[in-house]
Structure 1
């Protein structure tokens, strides 16, 4: 059957073809244009599931040009323009998005590459084709912030959203980055914790999201061609569900599902479960926390103000910049807070420090604006360099991060938005005041009842003191009580870098040692917090803190009394005339090592002593060693008066080289000091002494030369020659351990755990290196 067209019919058919709009065309010719002002004009795919359209953007009066699924979900975008903007397929073959002013917002860079036409495929891929229908450029090869099914995401591509980006590395790892540098999420074939590669022969890995909601890493060298990474929660459900993976502007990567014909997007998977763990989510200096509505951003304290009160995610700024402090800096402590420390942003700032040593190193160093102790018993601390600092707050966090600010340090105050019920506040205030007045009245009445008889009051006081002492918690004393206990601080036991110590007696006849701390300027609450930390540190070889006084300008600590005083009175026989047998010396050395090990590795927070010396190793009535003054470095103001190199807090002959080199003070600094003490316990001589016997060399240098010759006996205290209890194998181990401890480089020193094992003979160390010019410096 043949069909013939009349002239009229042929004319009408040609007219219809000429009047066809490109809005329903499969092939988009060169010279075509879409205008933001005419949103009804779009370019569609064959099935009309996808379109190239202008859709309203978040900013009123602006429009996003995008490949859109079901007229609602943008899966690729070129940028945002004003109402006068347009998207053009130029005759030169380039795609260009321009503003109403004619300024170019985006260009495909495909000019003069033989482009003949464009097409939007049913997969959502927007392509430029040459005359042989080969692809010159495609939106799948240049993704914006979304990956859709059948789209292959390969090495070198990236999704971007603001400061955030998503990448696939050559080793098969997926990662999220902030500012294209800080990696805050990592997942894939080689994302093991220890950094080792489980698969090393990948050829060209790619990441693909399948229509059923499974996201896989593919490579020809992988078993079965691929390895599944993640599943959407609605995996395999529904044939009419469109799934896509998107990098949102909050820095999180998610898989969404949307039913065809619907505008509701359902989250099926998220990369970073805790949004507050996304680096930079709350901007610079921003702190992220959760409330009933989700993650919220706030400033660290009243030392900061929001950059934009209507957009807290933009972060905060200092009221006074550090360069304007003029040396008046302080550390702002943020409880239950941790600043985010992802690699490689802090790779060069990771140290093994105690909490206070970490704060101190940050405060005095221009390279640091915040300290972040992990508070996991490892002693690891991060020093955050100047630049971008952000963190998160959670009541379950045990760590306290510190941020450098200009004094005065201001707490985080109540926001005006929270002051909504002033009448209720006044009612609560009146009730509280009335209650306090009633309690005061009751207390005064009880005092009159108990104090009518002086002796009766004394007995009651003694009873309560005994109960508090037995509870093992630090007691609080008044200054007058301690003045009375010590008879006006009459009997002085000694003095050290932190203050003088006096002998006293409690009401229950318990003998105590009272240390009057010097240079303490902390507020009472902060002082009591630090004392509580020291008081909760218990070990057989640590001096027990009985109580404290924080009254006005007075700061005192009350310790258990050590009958035999400090170790130096015994090991330097020429100074005291008293002598310790070898059996006692070895026991004291081992006990002190175990105490320092406990401070470094077994406390909830690593404590760096900073002043290990014989004067701080005390002996009880049975000559058991007990380390004293631990944790006191926390109480001393962290300013240049105590931490610059002209006034180092330490003692001649025991300071580690890093003190003098102005390097971070770590637990390894204590190891060095202990090594010096250990050598003195063996030799009974000060390490920095010089004599004719040592060829006018420092004793520690001369002792190493003798040890190298295998002559440990020459190092042994002459007073012990002939002592039958001397075990020369123990002598050798102690001398060997001491020289490993006093190595110049911190990386060569053993941990205190290893030192204890050496002393106990559990492990054997190789021959130690020469200590290498141990510094000799006098300090105040």
Structure 2
């Protein structure tokens, strides 16, 4: 056979094959008549494969098809996902050509049997009486239009994707648009009380958690089955008559039907469609718009991300199931509430976004063992504006009790809105970290009493033996310590002769009426009002004093010798065992901060009073700096430490951080201390002089003039820093607008003079700041101040206000009479805590030593017994997580997880998600990224926590969101 003959035959064969393929699809019509049956099998003439926009290949078997002019058609037929061998009767949009020679990228927009799929060899019967019936392979009826006897003469798929049954007058008898599933196509109308219901997942077509419903006053998005909860709402004006919504090209229009006309209520603008477009309520609760592109169907817009729907929910935690049931979302990271006593656990340790579950399921047979535990610093998506409470107007205790008495209640949301709103929830979805939220969330858990009290006999004997040994050692140590303290008291009384009045603890306890009249929380302790004789006093009960008795008394002697009208006078003290108390004169008007930061008219100060406070404070500092035997740097000047008497005369208090400087010293080195916002730049070098007080004084003057704090995170981000804001206002000429004008008798010329004085005090170069004696002269009018505000505030040290974090981990020096100040401000935990009342902050008088030790021993036994089972569980969990490896915090972070743990992860992408999504004991990710696992060396402190350095990311505070990294060390060492 010649070469040309072979080539001719091959070309002829190819033409015949193409003709057959063209004929196969071109025979599809958009309509059909009754008495037609379509069988769903592999030999059916119109079967083909389609990838449906995914990597797999879904099977489509079209029976009706309407081809549009833009290469996209709507078809009705059987549709199957290869994840399972079952079929939907569906309407789907797909790609094709004018001759219908191929089909691809099918997307289901409506289905008849999403909750009951059919098998191969099922059939669709268009019965002669006009009923369209879907039967499974076994002959059972799965679905029907129920239109028999209604004059149906045909079925058709329309250009917009609507499956309709019509009569001989072409009147629609039944249509799929009247029975929406999860999709809304262009041209489709959604009537009042009609709804979209999401699929369970992308591969599970059964009805899911989410539904979107059109009601008379808006479009509501719900989540949940038996007791749906509103998570989104688009408001509409409520009118008489029914309403409907029309999805058109570029808009979503809402209309009301009254007796005479259709009234447009609202229009929501959407992306303009260049091809076929549809809107789908998806399994994650989002309402996304899809459009045809050259490479498949693409999501082009998320309708619910529009602020008109829900402006208050933050992203990416704006979805009720983003972290599953019981989960906590913190800027996209998922975690479970801390498993107190083993109440909660993740469904999947490597996929925390799937949510959490109760370790012991709730049982209505043992309701007496139910307990509510609070999840602090979180918010829940329910909005009181949208959702009526279960119970209204009751207090929090009665609200939680109502849940405990209702077995179907799984959680409580208590919100203080216009009234007390109590929500009893039968299902709890994702909570979001929100430290400023006024609502409280409780979770109901099952307490297993038997498991809590279970302890082995051998373990109990070991505890008793260890406790007895500990008791014996404690008695010996305490007796020896008591003897040493008595000897030390005798020696100190002889050495220190210049002390103020010494009081006993019992005297001060009676003077303060058992420490009941609390005035406030000062530096290092609480302050209580008291009465000694006919004199009112303020008694400061110091917390956590770390210095010895000798050092404390020596410092009290030094401070007690300082006397000035503008310094709070130390009247006396108490030092008994571990108790340290200071007795000060009483200042009836409290501290300056409550007068300048409180916007109430009743608490505002007029300008002459503020001016006098500046002068009093300056005289007090001048005395400390220049008129004492030592130069004394206060180191913590701020409004909280400036107290006012009944005549509003200012006096400086709280010498807890004071530093004594010899006259022959120009500067000293000391560790960082003080309050962020008032720290001078030289603190960064730890080499300071008394000029740091002058810087702080300048900040106080500015705060008093402008009526706000230097660091105020309640302001918009661009207004956090007062000095930066002043700098911007000077440049724009709007400085006077910032001045606190609580009283109209302001002398603006004098105010500007004070701003100039403050500008001199806050200069970065400490040598250019005036001395306090010069400041006093300026305030008294005996000297002038000349400074260029533009120049001063252009170089104002902004960074130190937020970048400095105080270190409270080291013991205080001998000059710190008030004990260690709180340094780093701990961020509140976003995990589960059981609320308990706070114990009194003072130590009661010590009873007999033997009774005290016996009580301590009994409490120790109860604690160890109750936690024995929990300890075994933790040990087991640690062994499982660590894979038996010894935790090492000196090497790569990954070593803390144990050798070989990452071997089970399926590829780099899942490893990234696992590491980034994992929440440790504080609800933070183990590692910043996948690369950090291999690269970063993160040291662990003695508690097992490792803090990632956030300076590089622009966040100076490591306790702000996203900056704390908890490694496996935290789980193993806590």
* TM-score, normalising length: structure 1: 0.45
